């Protein structure tokens, strides 16, 4: 009895164990996400002799925690007789199970004895054992793993999976060689081909070179890249050219990876490879080799690049210069400076010189000052030289540049002054002040500007002292700013007229009101240039205290003073200047008349309108332009008619200015003249823009009212102005305008409705398709096309009603919208009594490329009207049905030239090969020339 109890207890225990452990293992497969890791760990704890397939499959899970737990569980159960289970997993049908089981074995059992123990349960062929035949066993592993799966593991998103796959790949390459991975280079999956090339490169076996060279022709750029990199790693010269080319790829990541692969060998080995490429017969390869040398960033590449500077290929010289700058070694300064001294003027030389200048700046050596200073005098190199000098200044700092200011060589002193402009350090002030009396005007010029950049108060008095001798001193004082105002006011009384003039100019640009009294006083200076400069400065200050003195200046002055005074008064917006300026509009000099007109517009006094209107007929077009622009700024309605008259004259700049002025005034009477101006090609764009601006000023309500005006030009202008957002506010009046007596108004109203996009306009637009004028009908059709599929039902309805023009235009618009609902209605209209309609239907079916319409189009090749036959021929070409070839060949003999040409064009759409194929099929021997 006691034995029976034991048996029952053991049986219940076994049932309980199976009932718990087996569902637990099933749950591992079903719940790999979430709590799967805990399920795996539970299986490990049971130490049950379960089938390992579930755990091996878990090794392929996406969650790295699941993969780690599965590996831990496998390690546990192997000790409990799991070797046989691993062996069975290696033979499983599921590639994932085989793959990760083999990976686990390879990773965890590197020594042959351990692998042999794991294969203790494997039935080996007679006479074989792992100790004597490890290659055979490894072959079994490779077969079980599937190299493609291993290669895929190299691209796993998790580091641990990549590490496992990498160890396995290394073991396979050690035992099996490169052959398993060479086979993967032919895989359909580009990513696997890429990873296989990477493995072959990492393994570094030259035996793989032939297959890697073949992979250089792979269509996938990443495979191409890795194959080239692998060749580079196995010391095969065929890898360098493609890597060099890929460094210039538009795909940033490709370029970066190619660069990394190329420079990964180390400097010495890379130099060995790149040196012969600099002498390659292909210039593009030489250029790329120079770029690669720059990436090495090693001075040992400098002699090679200097040698390249003397090459005949401009692009190579330019690239070599850039590379020398990137390496940044001082030994390149002299060769690069020699490039700057080249006196040739062609564009290629200038590009190389610009690159050389930038390179010198990057190197940042003090010896580059003189060549860069000379290069800056060349207009084509000035920008590059300035950039280089700035870089050099930042590299050297103030001390060496200050020392260079005392050099005997003028070019070095000039370069130092130029470079100090980019530093602006107060420590440079004293040395720069000493250079203000340099024998070289160029050095003085740049020293003054450099002092201005410092913004130091100690530079003010010395700079004021050289205003008459150094033409940049006033600019330097402007840069110093308000601190210089007091000294500049004193300079207004300097003995030198040039110094006084420059002082006035500087005061105007600094813009301090406290300078106004001194500048007003300067209006009485003995020198006209000083008076003109003072007047201009007062205008810049815009201080109204200067209005009276400036008005007084408008009499008995030289023209340059009068011009400056007029311009200044315009900026002051002072009404006291209106009458004197109106008198100036009658002066003999057209420049004075134009300046006065401009000033009157700026002042904005409506009382000036009469005098400005008179100037619209001035003999000088500059004056007419200034007057028209001024009248626009005045916004005086009295100017509408005179400005409109200017639109109908010569289409010059004055007429264009008049159009914009009419829009500025904002009077509805300008609608008609602006609409009429649309017919003038030279005025069309500006008139269209003016109408839009005028429409925004007037608003939708005012424009809607203008649509009912008596004047057709007014109505046309209103319709044109309603194109856009304003049209949404006037849909009703625009619909009414579809029946306007003027065809132009009807067409413009249709366009406005199409742009407004309000669905309520679709039915009236559809009704207007039958307009008596074809151009209006076309405008209506275009408007409906803007509605897209919403207009299709209305257009289909018009196919069967209305006059022929309405049906024809409806067919054309349906083709433009390209909605398949139109196919059957169009086919039903193919026999319309009107040839215009039949031709339009054929054209529509062709544009829609409707194959079911091929028979209709073939039949239409015999239509009595030539337009229909021509449209049918082109439609057949667009449809592209083979059965149309023979009818089109016959249509080439039509009595009407346009039909013959349409048939030939249709046959060209099929292509010569297709036409010949059809002819061969039907035994036609005639020769067809489709050229």
User: pLDDT by residue (tens digit) across 551-567?
Assistant: 999 988 999 999 999 99
Residue 191 sits at the vertex; the CA angle it makes with 186 and 192, to the nearest 5 degrees, is 45
Whether the pLDDT of residue 11 is over 60: the answer is no
Give residue 119's pLDDT.
46
Spell out the SS3 assignment of 884-917. Answer: HHHHHHHHCCCCCHHHHHHHHHHHHHHCHHHHHH
Whether the pLDDT of residue 464 is over 90: the answer is yes
Using CA atoms, how far apart are residues 147 and 624, in angstroms rounded to an integer? 84
Residue position matching structure tokens 């009107």 = 834
Give residue 866's pLDDT.
95
Which two structure tokens, joined as six digits, stand for 670? 């300008």
pLDDT tens digits, one per residue of 76-94: 544 444 445 555 555 555 4
Q: What is the pTM of this model?
A: 0.61
Residue position matching structure tokens 């890898």 = 239
Using CA atoms, how far apart are residues 692 and 849, in angstroms rounded to an integer? 39
Instruction: Give the contacts of 433 (CB within 8 A, at least 6 positions apart).
Output: 451, 458, 459, 462
Whether the pLDDT of residue 594 is over 90: the answer is yes
Q: Confidence class of residue 65 from pLDDT cuts 50, 70 and 90?
A: low
Cα separations in angstroms, 61 against 43, 69, 78, 97, 752: 16, 11, 20, 11, 62
Segment 124-136 shows an average pLDDT of 43
Using CA atoms, how far apart are residues 780 and 696, in angstroms rounded to an integer? 24
Q: What percent of the chain has pLDDT over 70?
A: 74
Which two structure tokens, joined as six digits, stand for 48? 């049950």
599: left (phi over 0), alpha (psi -120 to 50) or beta: alpha
Using CA atoms, how far apart are residues 173 and 180, in angstroms rounded to an integer? 8
Q: Confidence class of residue 580 from pLDDT cuts 50, 70 and 90?
A: very high
Which is more confidently placed, 253 or 466? 466
Give residue 248's pLDDT.
64
Q: Are 653 and 686 in contact (CB under 8 A)?
A: no
Which is more confidently placed, 416 or 233? 416
Q: Are 356 and 341 in contact (CB under 8 A)?
A: no
Whether the pLDDT of residue 253 is over 50: the answer is yes
Whether the pLDDT of residue 52 is over 70: the answer is no
Q: Confidence class of residue 333 from pLDDT cuts 50, 70 and 90?
A: very high
pLDDT tens digits, one per residue of 793-816: 999 999 987 788 999 999 999 999
Give residue 225's pLDDT.
76
- Which region among 105-109, 361-365, 620-624, 652-656 has the lowest average model confidence (pLDDT)? 105-109
Give residue 69's pLDDT.
59
DSSP string, 695-757: HHHH-HHHHHHHTT-S-HHHHHHHHHHTTTGGGGG-HHHHHHHTT-SSHHHHHHHHHHHHHHT
Q: Confidence class of residue 682 from pLDDT cuts 50, 70 and 90?
A: confident
* Letter string b/e over residues 45-83, b meaning 16 or more CB atoms within 10 A of that residue's CB: ebebebebbbbbbbbbbeeeebbbbbbebbebbbeeebb
Segment 672-697 shows an average pLDDT of 89
Using CA atoms, how far apart are residues 449 and 435, in angstroms rounded to an integer? 12
Using CA atoms, how far apart are residues 264 and 470, in angstroms rounded to an integer? 56
Give residue 4's pLDDT.
37
Residue 914 sits at the vertex; the CA angle it makes with 909 and 916, to the nearest 5 degrees, is 120
Give residue 238's pLDDT.
76
What distance lies between CA 584 and its chain's CA centroid?
Answer: 51
Give residue 61's pLDDT.
55
Which two structure tokens, joined as six digits, stand for 583? 């008198």
Whether the pLDDT of residue 159 is over 60: the answer is no
What distance lies between CA 275 and its chain's CA centroid?
Answer: 36
Using CA atoms, how far apart are residues 58 and 338, in angstroms rounded to an integer? 69
Q: Confidence class of residue 314 from pLDDT cuts 50, 70 and 90?
A: confident
Q: Confidence class of residue 913 from pLDDT cuts 50, 70 and 90?
A: confident
Q: Confidence class of residue 460 from pLDDT cuts 50, 70 and 90?
A: very high
Side-chain-facing half-sphere of 773: CA atoms under 13 Å? 14
Mean pLDDT of the chain: 80
- Which region among 463-472, 508-517, 921-930 has the lowest average model confidence (pLDDT)? 921-930
Whether the pLDDT of residue 710 is over 70: the answer is yes
Instruction: Give the contacts of 23 (CB within 8 A, at least 6 positions apart).
Output: none
Whether the pLDDT of residue 697 is over 60: the answer is yes
pLDDT tens digits, one per residue of 626-668: 999 999 999 999 999 999 998 876 667 888 999 999 999 999 9
Whether the pLDDT of residue 915 is over 90: the answer is no
Q: Are 267 and 293 in contact (CB under 8 A)?
A: no
Q: Are 783 and 765 in contact (CB under 8 A)?
A: yes
Residue of 149, 166, 134 whose CA lies nearest to 97? 149
Q: Is 367 exposed, middle or buried (0-12, 13-18, 19+ CB in 10 A)?
A: middle
Using CA atoms, how far apart are residues 38 and 200, in angstroms rounded to an integer? 39
Give residue 70's pLDDT.
60
Whether the pLDDT of residue 107 is over 50: the answer is no
């Amino acid at each position: 009895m006691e034995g029976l109890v034991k048996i029952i207890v053991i049986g219940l225990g076994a049932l309980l164990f199976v009932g718990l452990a087996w569902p637990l293992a099933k749950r591992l497969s079903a719940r790999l996400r979430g709590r799967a890791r805990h399920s795996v760990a539970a299986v490990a704890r049971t130490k049950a002799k379960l089938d390992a397939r579930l755990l091996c499959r878990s090794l392929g899970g996406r969650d790295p925690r699941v993969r780690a737990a599965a590996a831990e569980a496998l390690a546990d159960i192997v000790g409990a007789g799991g070797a046989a289970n691993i062996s069975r997993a290696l033979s499983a049908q599921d590639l994932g199970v085989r793959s990760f089981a083999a990976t686990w074995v390879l990773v965890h059992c590197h020594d042959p004895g351990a692998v042999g123990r794991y294969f203790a349960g494997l039935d080996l062929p007679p006479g074989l054992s792992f100790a004597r035949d490890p290659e055979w066993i490894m072959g079994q592993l490779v077969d079980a793993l599937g190299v493609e799966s291993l290669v895929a593991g190299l691209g796993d998103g998790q580091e641990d999976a990549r590490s496992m796959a990498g160890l396995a790949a290394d073991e396979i390459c050690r035992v099996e060689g490169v052959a398993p991975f060479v086979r993967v280079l032919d895989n359909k999956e580009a990513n696997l081909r890429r990873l296989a090339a990477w493995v072959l490169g990492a393994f570094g076996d030259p035996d793989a070179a032939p297959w890697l060279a073949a992979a250089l022709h792979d269509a996938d750029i990443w495979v191409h890249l890795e194959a080239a990199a692998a060749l580079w790693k196995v010391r095969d010269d065929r890898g360098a050219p493609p890597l060099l080319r890929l460094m210039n790829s538009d795909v940033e990541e490709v370029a970066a990876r190619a660069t990394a692969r190329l420079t990964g060998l180390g400097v010495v080995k890379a130099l060995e490879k790149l040196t012969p490429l600099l002498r390659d017969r292909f210039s593009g390869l030489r250029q790329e080799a120079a770029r690669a040398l720059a990436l090495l960033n090693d001075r040992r590449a400098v002699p090679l690049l200097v040698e390249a500077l003397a090459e005949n290929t401009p692009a190579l010289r330019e690239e070599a210069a850039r590379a020398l700058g990137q390496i940044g070694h001082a030994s390149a300064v002299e060769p690069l400076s020699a490039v700057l001294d080249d006196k040739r003027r062609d564009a290629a030389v200038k590009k190389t010189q610009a690159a050389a200048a930038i390179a010198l700046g990057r190197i940042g050596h003090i010896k580059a000052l003189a060549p860069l200073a000379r290069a800056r005098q060349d207009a084509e190199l000035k920008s590059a030289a300035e950039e280089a000098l700035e870089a050099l200044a930042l590299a050297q700092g103030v001390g060496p540049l200050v020392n260079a200011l005392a050099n005997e060589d003028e070019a070095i002193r000039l370069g130092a002054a130029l470079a100090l402009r980019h530093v602006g350090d107060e420590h440079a002030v004293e040395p720069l002040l000493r250079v203000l009396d340099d024998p070289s005007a160029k050095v003085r010029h740049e020293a003054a500007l450099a002092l201005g950049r410092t913004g130091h108060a100690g530079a003010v008095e010395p700079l004021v002292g050289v205003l008459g001798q150094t033409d940049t001193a006033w600019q330097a004082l402007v840069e110093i700013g308000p601190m210089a105002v007091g000294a500049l006011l004193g300079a207004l009384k300097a003995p030198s007229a040039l110094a006084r003039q420059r002082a006035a100019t500087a005061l105007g640009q600094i813009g301090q009101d406290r300078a106004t009294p001194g500048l007003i006083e300067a209006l009485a200076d003995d020198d006209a240039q000083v008076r003109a400069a003072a007047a201009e400065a007062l205008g810049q200050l815009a201080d109204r205290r200067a209005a009276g003195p400036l008005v007084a200046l408008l009499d008995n002055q030289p023209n340059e003073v009068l011009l400056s005074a007029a311009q200044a008064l315009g900026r002051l917006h002072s009404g006291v200047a209106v009458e004197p300026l109106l008198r100036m509009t009658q002066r003999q000099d057209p420049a004075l008349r134009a300046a006065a007109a401009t000033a009157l517009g700026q002042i904005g006094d409506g009382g000036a309108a009469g005098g400005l209107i008179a100037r619209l007929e001035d003999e000088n077009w500059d004056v007419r332009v200034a007057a028209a622009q001024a009248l626009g700024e005045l916004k005086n309605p009295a100017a509408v008619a005179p400005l409109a008259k200017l639109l109908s004259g010569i289409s010059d700049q004055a007429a264009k200015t008049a159009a914009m002025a009419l829009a500025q005034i904002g009077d509805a009477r300008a609608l008609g003249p602006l609409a009429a101006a649309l017919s003038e090609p030279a005025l069309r764009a500006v008139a269209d823009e003016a109408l839009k601006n005028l429409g925004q000023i007037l608003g939708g309500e005012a424009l809607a009212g203008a649509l009912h005006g008596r004047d057709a030009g007014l109505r046309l202008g209103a319709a044109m102005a309603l194109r856009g957002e304003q049209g949404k506010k006037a849909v009703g009046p625009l619909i009414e305008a579809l029946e306007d007596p003027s065809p132009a108004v009807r067409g413009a109203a249709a366009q406005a409705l199409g742009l407004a996009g309000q669905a309520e306009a679709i039915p009236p637009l559809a009704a207007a398709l039958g307009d008596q004028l074809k151009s209006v009908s076309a405008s209506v059709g275009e408007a409906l096309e803007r509605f897209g599929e919403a207009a299709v039902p209305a257009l289909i309805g018009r196919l069967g009603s209305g006059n022929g023009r309405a049906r024809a235009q409806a067919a054309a618009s349906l083709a433009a919208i390209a909605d398949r609902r139109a196919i059957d209605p169009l086919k039903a209209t193919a026999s319309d009594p009107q040839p215009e309609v039949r031709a339009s239907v054929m054209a529509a079916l062709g544009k829609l490329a409707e194959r079911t319409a091929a028979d209709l189009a073939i039949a239409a090749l015999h239509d009595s009207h030539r337009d229909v036959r021509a449209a049918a021929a082109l439609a057949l070409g667009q449809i592209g049905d083979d059965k149309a070839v023979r009818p089109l060949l016959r249509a080439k003999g039509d009595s009407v030239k346009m039909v013959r040409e349409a048939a030939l064009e249709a046959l060209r759409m099929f292509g010569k090969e297709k036409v010949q194929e059809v002819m061969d099929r039907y035994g036609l021997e005639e020769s067809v020339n489709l050229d």
